[in-house]
Amino acid sequence: MSPNKSNEDKVEKLLRKMPRVEDNQDKDALFSKVSASMNKKDTTRKKPKFPWLIPSIGSVVVVFLCVLIYQSFPSDNQFSFERNSDDSVQDTTEESTDSSFNAQMDKRESDESGSISQNEESAENEALIMEGIEEAASSKLVYPDSNVSFISVAVMDPSIHYTIPMQLVDTSTNEADPEYYYNQLGNFIDEEAFDVVIYPFEDINFDIVTEENEVHLDIPNDFELEEGSALAGMFERILSVMFHPNEIDEAVLNLDESRDSFGMYGNIDRLPLTKQENQSYKIFQRDESKPELLLPTSTNEFETLEEALEEMKLSEPEFHVEASIPSEVELNVESSNQLVTISFSNSVSFGNNQETLNMLEAILLTAKSFGYSEVRFDMQIDTVGPYRLTDPLPVPVGANPIYLH
Amino acid sequence: MRAAFDDLYDRYHKDLFQFIFYMVKDRQQAEDIVQEVYIKVLNSYHTFKGESSEKTWLFSIARHVTIDFFRKQQRKRKKIMDFFDWGEKGHLIKDEHATPDEIAVMNEEIRHIYHCLDKCTIDQKSVVILRYIQSFSIQETAETLGWTVSKVKTTQHRAMKTLRKLLNEGDRGEETKIESQ
């Protein structure tokens, strides 16, 4: 018998010899405590004194939110995201956007002055609200929320060139077990809907050992990493993107004893996972019918945020990746500790629209990867999507959320 | 309600208490948790569909309540550590319980393995207790933990590896002590 086997038997024998530990509480006393606690909980669940109070407050909040939504879609919808390098054309554009903005403001003022009858006014306001909602720019970021669980996952673009980080947001609990999601990614990410590819982990079982900052992978015998293949190259990157945000810095590979190597990695049983730093985020969209996703196109390639922001002005049509910052924009970057201030040149007019929101969110993610915790945007407008630009914006938890209920 | 309590108590109480005790290693805490388990079980007794056995259902509730207890304890400890700003060395402050009488009278090796259980992860500890102390089958353990059979096997394998290593280290420590005497 091998020494290991005999040792295991010894451990097993010792465990089986553990003494019985009995409860000294009396059965009736225990039942009394249990039923007393149950009754107490029942009484605390009694009907509220004013059952109408919560629905009423709810209704007031809804009305308030409607007013707020209406106000947060200012008429600068027509304030477009113009990209012009020619100054003379730019001047004209600025004038026209300004005038359309003023015109819209004027329209609002006249509405408010009551020159239109009440019914007409409310109908028009309703139309405005609907218009606003339809055209509202949608955010691709998630921020801390103690009521939900975030699970960092990653997919690939169909050409297996880039990794795309995503966040599964389980709104039903704030204590979700991440292994549950990692072990069945395909059930939570619709590849077709996003036009992305899930790494074929298939029968690999993930076991997260938080205390050791490790993720253990039980690798079945038929799982191979073909040397030189795109998928083999992605293996470590995908694991890093998924697990490193949760401070898991090593993957332990549990291979069958009969295997003496693991594809291109050779004879290893541990794979260090790398922190995803100094990235530059752009926009991925294969087809207009699919949602846009924010993806990092470079990691650890640039030393400064300025360099990464310059990179973000370049599109990569061969990979269906769009620049997130217009090429004509000149940026000035100033940092102080964890705060970075980004000022935009006046040659481009920004509006409260999806393109500007994409740019801000790509910059927030890029700044986060350079270690900043807040970004102040110094541009001509005060509101973009859900953000008020008058104060510094905190960097997010992650990007590209998929909400699970 | 009394009838349901009596039935569960008579059939499973000894095992249930023992499982919780080995998980938390504190009699008072085990008593509090077992009480909470009965409250949860009796509140949801009518919803038990019989898809798993009553035993594995009861133990899976016990495990969840115990894990909740660990989480609460961890949060409490974190708050205290933040308050006193013990910083990076905070994790070294151990929460040691006195060795219970039942264990104290056992031989050195058993006492040693009892303490080694704390070096396993919660998952590994659950599997070891269910499989070897409670004598659950692999299938029953899988049902209790809501895992696949293969995950139980892997976790059990890792736990035994950890315990074996710790036991060897303990043996080596003893040998060195004898040699130096």
pLDDT value, residue B93: 38
Chain centroid to Cα A233, Å, comes to 24
For residue A74, the tally of other CB atoms under 10 A from its CB is: 17
Segment B10-55, tens digit of pLDDT = 999 999 999 999 999 989 999 999 999 999 888 877 767 666 688 8
Mutate to test the interface with A, among B12, B14, B17 (most CBs of A within 10 A): B17
B155 to chain A: closest CA residue? A207
- How far apart CA A276 and CA A298 sit, in angstroms, is 10
For residues B118-128, average pLDDT: 89
A27 to chain B: closest CA residue? B9
Answer yes or no: do B14 and A23 touch at CB < 8 A: yes
Q: Is A11 on the interface with B (CB under 8 A)?
A: yes
Annotated domain spans of chain A? 56-136, 143-272, 280-400
Count of CB pairs separated by less than 8 Å, A with B: 101
Question: Which of B123, B132, B158 has the CB atom closest to A12's CB atom?
Answer: B132
Answer yes or no: do A8 and B160 touch at CB < 8 A: yes
* Structural domains of chain B, ranges and CATH numbers in brackets: 1-96 (1.10.1740.10), 98-181 (1.10.10.10)
- How much is the CA Rg of chain B, to the nearest whole Å? 19
Q: Among the listed ranges A139-148, B70-79, B146-155, which one has the minimum average pLDDT value? A: B70-79
- How many residues are recorded in chain A? 405
Burial class (CB in 10 A: 0-12, 13-18, 19+), A295: buried
B1 pLDDT band, cuts 50/70/90, is confident
ipTM (interface predicted TM): 0.83
Per-block average pLDDT, block size 10, for chain A (405 residues)? 61 90 90 84 51 62 64 40 33 34 32 35 38 62 91 91 94 85 89 89 86 88 77 88 93 82 82 91 90 90 91 90 92 93 83 92 96 93 91 95 88
Mutate to test the interface with A, among B10, B150, B164 (most CBs of A within 10 A): B164
Kindly report the nearest CA distance between residue A255 and chain B, in angstroms.
11
- How far apart CA A22 and CA A8 sit, in angstroms, is 27
C-alpha distance from residue A10 to each of A36, B109, B113, B126, B131 (Å):
46, 10, 11, 19, 15
Reduced DSSP (H G I as helix, E B as strand, rest coil) percent helix, strand, coil of chain B, to 5: 80, 0, 20
**Which residues neighbour B80 within 8 Å (Cβ) at sequence distance 6 or greater?**
none
Question: Which of B123, B133, B151 has the CB atom closest to A18's CB atom?
Answer: B133
| Cβ-Cβ contacts under 8 Å, A31 against chain B | 2, 5, 9
Q: Is A15 on the interface with B (CB under 8 A)?
A: yes
Contact B135, B22 (CB under 8 A): no
For residues B75-97, average pLDDT: 50
- How far apart CA A332 and CA A344 sit, in angstroms, is 7
pLDDT value, residue A111: 36
| Cβ-Cβ contacts under 8 Å, B30 against chain A | 23
Answer yes or no: do A34 and B31 touch at CB < 8 A: no
Contact B34, B69 (CB under 8 A): no
